[in-house]
Structure 1
Amino acid sequence: MTQVGEGPAAGSAAGSLSGLAVGDVLAERYRLEEHINDDSAGRQVWRGVDIVLRRPVALVLRTPGGASAEEMLSAAVTASRVVHGNLIGVYDAIDEGERAYVIREWIDGTALRDLVAEEGPFDAERTTSVLHAVADAVSALHASGMAHGNVHPGTVLVATDGRVVLADARADSTTSNEADVRSLGALAYFMLTGHWPRAEADRVTALPDGRRDSTGTLVAPRNVRAGVPTYLDDLVMDLLDAKLALPTAQVLTGELARLDTGERLLFGGNGTLRFADDSAPAEPAPRAATPRLLVAGGVALALVVSGLVLAVRALNADATEPPSSQPTGSAVQASASAAPQPKALDLTKDQVRIIAPFGDRDNATQAPNMVDGNAKTVWKTTGYRQSNFGNGDKKGIGILITLDKPQLVSSVTVELSAPGTSASLVGGAADAPNSRAGDKTIVDTFKPVAGSQSFGKDSGTTMVFSTDASTPYQYLMVWITDLPRDPSETEYPYRVGVQEIVVEVQ
């Protein structure tokens, strides 16, 4: 288990800590039990035991001590004065000259970085809960006059009992409260997507960078994966926008607290996150694919976070009155609230088919698996020797989606069995005969859907083709042009599976 993770180096790189071994006792009190890891600053992290109080502790050691360890020790001493349930407890800070070390609370749990790697991105509820806990810890530090300076997925620990703890403050003259709040936005982005926006968070880590479009602009979480509610997506992107002034950690914590307390959270079927009152009649449960969150008293709850987004933007608004021709804030809010929310279609097996103008329609009978609401059932391509389907005429394979009628499509989400697939979303005005000639007509005549982006080989397992919803479509096709390598296969190793496809319309 990782007790501290990667982050900015604390001052100059630490030297080698040779000669330490299990069973050694430091300061006649702290016995080393297990070497856990070395962090990016070259410090060793050990699990140990306080033999006086007989409790487990974590020891963070570096060499040499003295002036080069001053920042580490100073940050530990300052942090020890702040007692908070979401801050790791600091027990001691010792400088022996040849080495220095900090003794702190041992957390039986997992770093957030490792948790997301093991379990995948979090849903909106879990993201909000963890973000609230970390923001509360940061707010407590800021109230004491200290910035943390090291908020990232390696320093957030989730205990086995569910407690969320922020560790390893490295505040120095270069850190600021604003940088901490910006990092909270990056932390939320990571929990929702599994990617860390390096440039926006101003920190290089070993984590994969945030998803970016062809211009290098950070892609919003809801365009990386399905199911991210708009209000949370807006909040995260505003916190990461360097052009916008930031709320204080205290303000952010207060608003997140309203979202994270007392409300009963229920999971329904697929579709985007929405809010419903308990007294409302129950809807028939749609097929389960992408979770939808139902929140009691949700209208007020949505306004809480929406209000924070508006407050962040209000910090940056011009102080003068808007021209009479410009809509006022209340008019904008009324317009926004009236906008229809996208809804997921309940596709049937007859609404999807495989398109291959050249070569075989790979495992075409499996196509219904992509719309059955079960991620364990998959349509798979056959295996190929090369990622681009080989040197023959076959340049790709398509999944045709036929809607009941022309509709304004807001997004198409494709869940894949493996990352590294290249694909695009195209559409057309008419179907063609279910034949090889018909397949060729579809490939030749369908054009890219307005507003949608293509995904390259750096894509993950979730592709969200967002559109501008300006043109009605009845016929859509996901066109796959490059396949990832399956390490379990040798002769024909390039293949991919599609677990689920979700189409959302206005």
Structure 2
Amino acid sequence: MGIVHLAHDADLRLVALKVLRPELAADADFRRRFTREAEAAGRVARFCTAPVLEAGLDGDIAYLVTEYVDGPDLASVIGAQGPMNGANLEALAVGVATALAAIHQAGVVHGDLKPSNILLSAVGPRVIDFGIARLAGATDTTQSAVVMGTPPYMAPEQADGRPATAASDVFAWGGVMAYAGVGRPPFGTGPAPQVLYRVVHHVPRLDGLDEQLRPLVEQALDKDPARRPTAQQLLDRLLGRESATPALATRMVSDSWTPLMPAREAPPARRLRVAPVVAVALALLVTAGTLAAWRPWDRPTTARPRTSTTTTVTATVTTAPPATAAPSPTGEQPARPAGDGKALAESDTFVTNAYDTSVPVHVRILSLERKGD
């Protein structure tokens, strides 16, 4: 549909700038639809998505600005590292379902959910490009259904030429989870007509998929859209709750997610730069010890005793080392962090901020609380 540029906004924050093909913006019907769809996409809550920050028409240029997600897409990670399992597969299922719930609540249909439209950030999966496929399809009613989606993840109704719906997105969720869990799409690969025939007439191949996730994936891949769960129902069943909010699900995903980055050096424009407080927090976690992964969907049983350890750290951070801070003009001593003054450990260190400037920080660990074995 166009070209995606890495750009920055007025505050020097990285953003993704999507510039659509000029011939699209030249079409009057497309311009009307673009304005309506872009406004709807802008209302999508940012839970597990790359939110739309701005959209508009500049002459014959239609553009979308979205939050920049620093991380590889799911397709490249599975291709390089193989299928996912355990907590990360469960977190992926929850994260993508959360994104679909937020997208559908805003009245938007993704229309082309697939592994390459899911980016794996440091805090969990993020779904991008929601509503883009519908914009493309709105310009030419003679285009085939194959153009309106990606065959291995298209629902049977899309293969029959009908428009994508929220139920179609749920079907695609099932296909993506099967791909992530076993390393192949549930209806195989090959020429588009063959794949679409299998989508419509064959049962999905799910052998090897995690047994806890498989029943829900099977429901999502039902040929009848009316029998598929909604995105919200997916979320509720994954988390074992009657009504799980997207905010709660996003927090759970971030807490249990282990970043999956390919073993490669990132280009300079994508190198992650941590703010001082974030860098100090990471250092504190390493200093404090190993934190247990939180898997909220696991229900503890007496047959499987819990042996995890949780460490809680209370610390304060100042941007100038108190030991060398000069007195104020009034003669008062520099403010010390709150607490009883008895630090278990403290250290002066330096971190690099977003402007490649070395910033001195002073870390004081005031208390540690250990729970579990």
Q: With structure 2 as the length reference, what TM-score do the two structures score?
A: 0.51
- 1:371-418 per-residue CA deviation (whole Å, 9 max, x = no partner) reads xxxxxxxxxxxxxxxxxxxxxxxxxxxxxxxxxxxxxxxxxxxxxxxx
Q: Report the CA distance between 1:124 and its aligned residue.
A: 4.2
Structure 2 match to 1:168: 129
Offset of residue 281 of structure 1:
7.3
With over 3 angstroms needed to count, the CA separation of the structure-2 counterparts of 1:219 and 1:245, relative to structure 1, is: closer
Deviation at 1:94, TM superposition (A): 2.1
Name the CA distance, whole Å, in 1 between partners of 2:102 and 2:205: 29
Residues 234/59 of structure 1: CA separation in 2 closer, same or farther (3 Å cut): same
Give the corresponding residue for 1:115: 77
Structure 2 CA distance for aligned equivalents of residues 295 and 258 of structure 1 = 22
RMSD: 3.9
Corresponding residue for 2:269? none
Alpha-carbon displacement from aligned partner over 1:258-312 (angstroms, at most 9, x marks no partner): 3985997799xxxxxxx99564378xxxxxxxxxxx999xxxxxxxxxxxxxxxx
Higher relative contact order (CA 8 A, sep 6+): 2
1:86 aligns with 2:48: yes
How many residue pairs get aligned? The number is 225
CA contact (8 A) 2:101 2:232 kept: yes
Q: 2:89 aligns with which of 101, 108, 127?
A: 127
Question: What is the aligned counterpart of 1:192 among 181, 186, 197?
Answer: 181
Larger Rg: 1
Q: Is the 8 A contact 2:44 2:105 kept in 1?
A: no
Mapped partners of 1:193, 1:281: distance in 2: 26
The alignment status of 1:220 with 2:205, answered yes or no, reads yes
From 249, 252, 257, the equivalent of 2:234 is 252
Provide the rounded CA distance (Å) in 2 between the counterparts of 1:189 and 1:233. Answer: 8
Q: State the SS of the aligned residue for 2:115.
A: coil
Kindly state the Cα deviation for residue 184 of structure 1 after the two structures are TM-superposed: 0.9
Structure 2 residue identity aligned to 1:256: L
**Contact 2:73 2:117 (8 Å CA) reproduced:** yes
Instruction: Show the counterpart of 1:59.
Output: 17
- Match of residue 177 from structure 1: 166
Q: 1:78 and 1:187, CA in 2 relative to 1: closer, same or farther beyond 3 A?
A: same
What is the one-letter code of the residue matched to 1:121? P
5+ residue gaps, structure 2: 139-162, 242-248, 257-291, 309-373
Structure (1/2) with the larger helix percentage: 2
* Aligned-partner SS, 2:63: strand
CA distance in 2, matches of 1:146, 1:103: 17
Separation of aligned partners in 1, 2:32 and 2:175 = 28
| Structure 1 residue 79 displacement after superposition | 1.4
Conserved in 1, the CA contact under 8 Å of 2:221 and 2:228? Answer: no
The answer on whether the counterparts of 1:76 and 1:169 sit within 8 Å (CA) in structure 2 is no
Check conservation: 2:216, 2:234, Cα contact below 8 A.
no
- The aligned runs of 1:298-447 (5 Å cut-off) are none
Task: Give the match for residue 273 of structure 2.
Answer: none
Conserved 8 A contact 2:171-2:220: yes
Q: Displacement, 1:75?
A: 2.9
1:100 aligned partner: 62
Deviation of the 1:44 alpha carbon = 0.5
Of Structure 1 and Structure 2, the greater strand share is in: 1
**1:20-74, Cα deviation, whole Å (9 max, x unpaired):** xxxxxxxxxxxxxxxxxxxxx3x10110111x22211111112131434554554
CA distance in 1, matches of 2:176, 2:72: 16
Contact 1:44 1:60 survives alignment (8 Å): yes
Matched residue type, 2:62: A
Aligned match for 2:6, one of 26, 34, 47: 47
Partner secondary structure for residue 221 of structure 1: coil
Among 189, 206, 213, the alignment partner of 1:232 is 213
Percent identity between matched residues is 23
Counterpart of 1:190, as a letter, is Y
SS in 1 for 2:72: strand
Structure 1 residues not aligned, in runs of 5+: 1-40, 268-274, 283-293, 297-506
